[in-house]
């Protein structure tokens, strides 16, 4: 490396000498102007021009090219350092702005995601509320219908109509059921199997004085009710028993019997059955 540098220095000095010899020769051979001549007017020399080219006043030769300050590495570094510093500062500002933009974008995305989740949750709550409101409306409508049906059923509870009637005869002083009486009760109970909305009215009558007739009619009516409940499983709450003694029933002709009788009336409520 040192040999190469020395070689370049030697070549530079040699070229400088070659270029400088013609200049010295021209200076020595030039004829100076006569000092005795006074007839020729003196002309002022032109001011030196400030060079604006790369050489900056230096001769364009290899030596000046090598030693020119523009070719110096330190000079170039000194002249380009502010530019590099400015570029570094701009890079730092750009990196900071990019980090800020990235942070703002991440926050924006997070905010948008939270807003979307809250919006979806609000939509779900609104949908659930609408579903519950619809269910409540349906329940209210159904309850209103049930209330109307119940009111109609309650209003029709006393709308019983008399149906089949059966009469059981007893001998004087007896309250036991005869075979004929049991057969009649069996036929009547067979027609009531699987039916609802009916009641059975049992009315006992007996001849004799007031108290004795009432007691006798009570025993005969008890015999009929007992047979229907035990033999045909008719609920007791569907049977209404009355001991009328020798009292005639209003609207019917008075029947004179030596013993006693029990009148059985099956009353049905067709309106309640239809509503069910």
Say whether both 166 and 146 belong to one domain: no
Report the alpha-carbon distance of residue 124 to residue 131 in Å, rounded: 10
Cβ atoms 259, 173 nearer than 8 A: yes
Write out the chain in H/E/C secondary structure: CHHHHHHHHHHHHHHHHHHHHHHHHHHHHCCCCCCCCCCCCCCCCCCCCCCCCCCCCCCCCHHHHHHCHHHCHHHHHHHHHHHHHHHHHHHHHHHHHHHHHHHHHHHHHHHHHHHHHHHHHHHHHHHHHHHHHHHHHHHHHHHHHHHHHHHHHHHCCCCCEEEEEEEEEECCCCCCCCHHHHHHHHHHHHCCCCCCCEEEEEEEEECCCHHHHHHHHHHHHHHHHHHHHHHHCCCHHHEEEEEEECCCCCCCCCCCCCCEEEEEEEEECHHHHHHC
Structural domain including 230 reads 161-275
Average pLDDT over residues 263-276: 72
Boundary of a domain, candidates 155, 175, 207: 155
170 in a domain, yes or no?
yes
Q: 17 pLDDT exceeds 70?
A: no
250 in a domain, yes or no?
yes
Report the alpha-carbon distance of residue 129 to residue 120 in Å, rounded: 14
The rounded Cα 190 to chain-centroid distance in angstroms is 60
pLDDT tens by residue, 212-243: 889 999 999 999 999 999 999 999 999 999 98
Torsion sign across C-alpha atoms 233, 235, 238, 244: positive
Say whether both 194 and 250 belong to one domain: yes
Average pLDDT over residues 246-257: 59
Beta strands at 198-206 and 161-170: parallel, antiparallel or unpaired = unpaired
243 in a domain, yes or no?
yes
Say whether both 256 and 270 belong to one domain: yes
31 in a domain, yes or no?
no
Say whether both 178 and 271 belong to one domain: yes
pLDDT tens by residue, 28-56: 444 444 444 445 556 666 566 555 555 55
Say whether both 183 and 233 belong to one domain: yes
231 in a domain, yes or no?
yes
pLDDT tens by residue, 124-181: 889 999 999 988 988 888 878 877 776 665 565 566 777 778 999 998 888 899 999 9
Say whether both 104 and 125 belong to one domain: yes
**pTM across the whole model:** 0.43
pLDDT tens by residue, 72-88: 666 667 777 888 888 88
Report the alpha-carbon distance of residue 173 to residue 9 in Å, rounded: 169
Write out 164-199 in H/E/C secondary structure: EEEEEEECCCCCCCCHHHHHHHHHHHHCCCCCCCEE
Say whether both 185 and 260 belong to one domain: yes
Angle at 82 between CA 81 and CA 87, to 5 degrees: 95
35 in a domain, yes or no?
no
Say whether both 181 and 148 belong to one domain: no
Report the alpha-carbon distance of residue 123 to residue 224 in Å, rounded: 70
pLDDT tens by residue, 199-214: 999 999 998 888 888 9
Structure confidence at residue 1 (pLDDT): 53
Say whether both 175 and 252 belong to one domain: yes
Boundary of a domain, candidates 129, 155, 181: 155
Q: Please report, for the domain that includes residue 268, its CATH number.
A: 3.30.1330.60
Structure confidence at residue 13 (pLDDT): 64
Report the alpha-carbon distance of residue 161 to residue 115 in Å, rounded: 71
By residue count, the chain amounts to 276
Say whether both 259 and 201 belong to one domain: yes
Say whether both 187 and 123 belong to one domain: no
Structure confidence at residue 104 (pLDDT): 93
Number of structural domains in the chain = 2
Boundary of a domain, candidates 155, 189, 206: 155
Q: 3 pLDDT exceeds 60?
A: no
Structure confidence at residue 63 (pLDDT): 65
């Amino acid at each position: 490396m040192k040999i190469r540098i020395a070689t370049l220095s030697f070549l530079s000095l040699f070229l400088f000498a070659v270029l400088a010899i013609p200049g010295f020769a021209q200076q020595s051979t030039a004829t100076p102007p006569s000092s005795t001549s006074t007839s020729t007017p003196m002309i002022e020399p032109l001011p030196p021009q400030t060079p604006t080219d790369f050489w900056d006043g230096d001769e364009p030769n290899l030596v000046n090219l090598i030693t020119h300050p523009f070719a110096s590495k330190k000079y170039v570094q000194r002249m380009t350092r502010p530019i590099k510093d400015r570029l570094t500062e701009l890079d730092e500002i750009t990196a900071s702005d990019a980090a800020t933009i990235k942070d703002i974008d991440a926050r924006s995305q997070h905010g948008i995601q939270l807003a979307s989740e809250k919006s979806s949750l609000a939509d779900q709550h609104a949908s659930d509320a609408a579903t519950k409101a619809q269910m409540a409306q349906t329940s209210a409508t159904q309850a209103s219908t049930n209330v109307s049906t119940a009111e109609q059923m309650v209003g029709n509870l006393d709308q019983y109509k008399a149906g089949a009637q059966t009469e059981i005869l007893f001998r004087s002083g007896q309250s036991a059921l005869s075979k004929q009486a049991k057969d009649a009760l069996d036929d009547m109970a067979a027609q009531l199997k699987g039916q609802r909305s009916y009641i059975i009215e049992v009315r006992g009558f007996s001849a004799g004085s007031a108290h004795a007739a009432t007691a006798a009619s009570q025993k005969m009516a008890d015999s009929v009710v007992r047979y229907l409940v035990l033999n045909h499983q008719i609920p007791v709450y569907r049977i209404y028993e009355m001991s009328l003694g020798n009292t005639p029933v209003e609207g019917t002709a008075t029947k004179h019997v030596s013993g006693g009788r029990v009148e059985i009336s099956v009353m049905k409520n067709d309106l309640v059955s239809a509503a069910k």
